[in-house]
Amino acid sequence: MAHAGELAGGNFRARLAVTGGSEFGQLSRHINDTAANLQRTVEQLQLEHSELERLERIRKDFVINVSHELRTPLASIQGYTETLLDGALADPQYNMRFLGIIRHNAERLARLTEDLLTLSRVEQKRQKLEFEPHSIGGLIEESMDLVRPIAAKSSIRLETELDAATPEVWCDGEAVSQILSNLLDNAIKYTPAGGSIVAGAYPAGRFVEVFVRDSGAGIPAEDLPRLFERFYRVDKARSRELGGTGLGLSIVKHLVGAHNGTVRVESRVQEGSTFFFTLPAEEAALPKETAVAVSAICTNNATIGEVRAS
Ligand code: ADP
């Protein structure tokens, strides 16, 4: 009977000895079944609890990160405004330079808030995506055209490499343009003058795989698993200097996830990086309504989960 005491005390792993088919034996079996059910429920609740704790930690980290990111440019704007008001405004040697710094930081704040709003819209599924058949070659060309002037300035060659068998993709045209422009912007930012960038696509089963390959700086292997996390940067100072917010790749990950696709990256330091993402080649491969909601929750918080990095 000691086990009965344990059950009553909350140890649902304890079991009563079952003695034959007597009424007492049947009662013991029922109690044991109930204990097993309770044990499963307790384990489930424990799992949910630790998941909630994990989500709360992620939320807190995010708030801390955002505050840090906003604080630096704000402090700079405040500092230089004070200096100008304290007399530097009349000093032709400094006034234009300080105003330039203020403008630079204001632009950084604008980019940051813009990216934060985009990310929260995508994460919370408030951005209604309209899935339609599109030519991926056309979308790649359009995005390439947008960055051509910036690439030309850095003497970076742009090329496309489209497999002739690539079918149309089912996607939201604007979302895919945003994905491509984030990847192309990065490729340009992290590729030195004289380098080259190739974007293209090829069929991959029920999906089409799209890639953006650069001959740039590359990414150390140890950074690859965390690359798609919000605010993760290999070189913080360099990213800031280049006008980065650290949110571009997490926006990419979420937009690709909303299409039921996956993202991955291959990279070698000094040789370059290739970012890949998949898009459905048929309507049936798009997320179902419920699947969208579920994947929204999962991708929100996943880090390496759906990101294969090599
Ligand atoms: P950022 O605004 O800093 O570019 P992203 O989320 O777009 O933020 O990228 C995160 C980090 O990944 C960058 O800071 C950079 O360190 C690295 N990265 C992204 N794309 C490339 C690339 N094509 N080549 C080298 N490093 C890259």
Q: Please give the full DSSP string across 234-296, using - where no structure is assigned.
A: SSHHHHHHTT--S-HHHHHHHHHHTTT--EEEEEETTTEEEEEEEEESSGGGSPPHHHHHHHH
How many A from CA of 208 to the centre of ligand 1?
Answer: 24
Atom number in ligand 1 closest to CA 240: 3
Asked if residue 134 has pLDDT above 80, the reply is: yes
Q: Which pLDDT value is given to residue 16?
A: 80
Asked if residue 305 has pLDDT above 50, the reply is: no
Task: Check residues 251 and 32 and name the one with the higher pLDDT.
Answer: 251
**Distance between alpha carbon 203 and the CA centroid of its chain, in Å?**
24
Architecture of the structural domain at 132-292: 2-Layer Sandwich (3.30)
Total Cβ atoms within 10 A of residue 92: 7
What CA dihedral angle connects 236, 239, 243 and 247, to 10 degrees? -80
Amino acid at 43: E
Q: Hey, where are the domains in the chain?
A: 2-51, 132-292
2-14 residue pLDDT tens: 677 787 787 888 8
Report the pLDDT averaged over residues 163-178: 97
Q: Which residue has the tokens 């309770």?
A: 38
Structure-block tokens of residue 119: 């990310």
Half-sphere exposure of 7 (CA within 13 A, CB side): 18
Q: Which pLDDT value is given to residue 192?
A: 95
Mean residue pLDDT of the chain comes to 89
Q: How far is CA 38 from CA 31, 33, 286, in A?
A: 10, 9, 39
Atom number in ligand 1 closest to CA 191: 24
Q: Which of 154-163, 233-242, 243-252, 257-266 is the least confident region? A: 233-242
Total Cβ atoms within 10 A of residue 42: 13
User: Where does ligand 1 bind, in terms of residues with CB under 6 Å?
Assistant: 186-187, 190, 214, 216-217, 219, 227, 232-235, 239, 244-249, 273
Report the pLDDT averaged over residues 145-168: 97
Asked if residue 300 has pLDDT above 60, the reply is: no
Q: Which pLDDT value is given to residue 1?
A: 57
Is residue 35 a contact partner of residue 8, using CB atoms and an 8 Å limit?
A: no
Structure-block tokens of residue 146: 């947008």
Q: Which pLDDT value is given to residue 59?
A: 87
Q: How far apart are CA 201 and CA 161, in angstroms?
A: 7
- pTM for the predicted model, two decimal places: 0.80
Q: Which residue has the tokens 């991959």?
A: 204
Mapped onto helix, strand or coil, the DSSP state of residue 92 is: coil
Handedness of CA 61, 240, 117, 99 (dihedral sign): positive
How many A from CA of 150 to the centre of ligand 1?
Answer: 17
99-113 residue pLDDT tens: 999 999 999 999 999
What CA dihedral angle connects 284, 286, 290 and 295, to 10 degrees? 140
Task: Check residues 46 and 20 and name the one with the higher pLDDT.
Answer: 46
DSSP state letter for 127: S
How many A from CA of 198 to the centre of ligand 1?
Answer: 17
196-216 residue pLDDT tens: 999 999 999 999 999 999 999
How many A from CA of 148 to the centre of ligand 1?
Answer: 19
